[in-house]
Amino acid sequence: MNAINETHAPQLRSWVASANQADGDFPIQNLPFGRFRQAGSTEALRIGVAIGDQVLDLRATGLIDTDDMNALMNASPAQRSALRSAISQGLAQGSAMQAAWTDALMPQAAVEMGLPCRINGYTDFYTGIYHATTVGSLFRPDNPLMPNYKWVPIGYHGRVSSIKASGQRFKRPMGQTKAPDAQAPSVGPCQRLDYELELGYLIGRGNELGEPIAIGQAEQHLFGVTLLNDWSARDIQAWEYQPLGPFLSKNFATSLSPWIVTMEALAPFRAKFERPAHDPQPLPYLDDPLNRQQGALNITLEVWLHTAKMRQAGLGPERLTRGNTAQAAYWTAAQLVAHHTVNGCNLEPGDLLGSGTLSGPNPGEAGSLLELSLGGKNPIILGNGERRTFLEDGDTLTLRGWCEGDGAVRIGLGEVSGTVLAASAA
C-alpha cells in the first residue's frame, strides 16, 4: 500500500491557480496521467499530467525522456513515487520551476485526449455484489448468485480493439437474439442497450509467465485507476452468454476515461475491506491483513444521461444514480491481480482490469439500466417527460467519480462519456 506523504498535504497549493479551486477534479494532490495532443493536430500523443484546467507536458519539463506511457508505467514503485514528488514540488506555490514550466502547460480545452496508455490486454471482472444479486434475481429468482461467486473473482477476457477514450461515438450493435415465444433466433439491432458503471485498474510493472503475484505484493503492480463504461447489449447477452459468457454483447464498444489516477494519489481514500460474518472468507492466496485493513477504495461514482431531446431543448444532462465503490465491490483490486496471476498468467504494463458493474445496495445506486428499470419492467421517467428502459439512439451517457474524506483534499477521476448512434443499415 502507498503511504500518505507530503504530496497529499491538504495545505499544499499550486502556482497554477485553477488547481486551487474548491471541488475541482485536479488539484496538486491528484496529478493524474494521460496522453494528449493539440486539438486538430496529427502529432503523436504526449504524456501529460492534469493540473487544474491545464495539462502539463511532462517531457517538456525534463522529468522524463519518453512519450511511451507504458514504459513509464513499468517503472518501479520507488521510481514512480520519486516522479510524483518531483512533479508536485515543481507545481507547488513558490517553486523555482514556475517560469520554466509555464511554457509546458496547455489548456485542457485546447487538447485532444487519447487512451491513457497502450492497452495490451483487457479482463473484465464481476465484483459488484449488489449488481450480481439484482441481475441474477431477474434471471434466476431462486438462485441469484452462482455457487462460486463468493469464492472466486469471476472474470472474462474482453476485446481491446474496441476500447476508446471518452467521447466515443459508436453504432448500436447488431446481433442474434431470441424472443421467448419464438421458434428460432433472428438478427437485428440491439433493443436493450445498456451501460455499466465500472472502474478500470491499470497494471504498472508486470510479472513473468509462470510467476504468480502474491496478494501482499499486488498493489506494487497496480499503476492506477480510471473510469470505465462497459457498454452491454442485454438482449444479445441473454441469448449468447451460456455456456461461455459474453461475446458480441460486449465487444462492440468500451469507453475509458483519459486520466489515470495513480494508486499514490488514492492513498488518503482507502477503506476497510470487510466481508459479512456469514460469508465465506477469502482463500489464503486472496487474503492479506493489509488488504483487510485498507484494500477497498472510497470513490463516489455518478451516472448522467443527456438525451437528444434534452440537447435540442437546451437542457443539461440528468443524473441517474450516485453510489460508492467501498460498498459495491466484493473483491479488491489487489485480489483481482492475485487471482489473475495465480495460474501463472503474465500481466503486462497497460493491461486493463475492469471491476464489473459497481452498484450499491439502494435503488438510486444502481450501475446499469437493467437494474434501474428491473429488466425493462419499470421505465424511468426523466425530468423532461421522456421514458427510458434502455438507451436510445442519440443518448450520451457520462460517468463521473471523485474521492473526498476528512483531512484530505478532494480529487477527481474526471469523466468518461459516450454517445449511441443508429445501427448500420442491414
User: Any known ligand binding at 124?
Assistant: yes
Q: Write down the residue that cell numbers 519518453 correspond to.
A: 66
User: Any known ligand binding at 250?
Assistant: yes
State how far the Cα of 350 lies from the Cα of 368, in Å rounded to an integer. Answer: 26
User: Any known ligand binding at 150?
Assistant: no
SS3 215: helix
3-state secondary structure 287-351: CCHHHHHHCEECCEEEEEEECHHHHHCCCCCEEEEEEEHHHHECCCHHHHHHHHHCCCCCCCCCC
Catalytic (active site) residue 339: no
Identity (one letter) of the amino acid at 421?
A: L
User: Any known ligand binding at 57?
Assistant: no
Return all residues near 52 (Cβ < 8 A) that are at least 6 apart.
Answer: 14, 16, 17, 18, 19, 20, 21, 24, 26, 27
Catalytic residue among 8, 131, 221, 340: 131
Return all residues near 32 (Cβ < 8 A) that are at least 6 apart.
Answer: 26, 49, 50, 224, 259, 260, 261, 262, 265, 413, 414
User: Any known ligand binding at 237?
Assistant: yes
Contact, 73 vs 66, CB < 8 A? no
User: Any known ligand binding at 198?
Assistant: yes
Q: Output the nine-digit C-alpha cell for 176.
A: 442474434
Contact, 161 vs 168, CB < 8 A? no
User: Any known ligand binding at 388?
Assistant: no
Cα dihedral 259→262→267→269 (10° resolution)? 20
User: Any known ligand binding at 357?
Assistant: yes
Return all residues near 370 (Cβ < 8 A) that are at least 6 apart.
Answer: 135, 138, 192, 194, 232, 234, 376, 390
User: Any known ligand binding at 230?
Assistant: yes
Question: Where is the binding site for Mg(2+), in residues?
Answer: 230, 250, 254
Residues involved in catalysis: 131
Question: Where is the binding site for Ca(2+), in residues?
Answer: 124, 196, 198, 230
Question: Where is the binding site, in residues?
Answer: 124, 126, 140, 196, 198, 230, 237, 241, 250, 254, 357
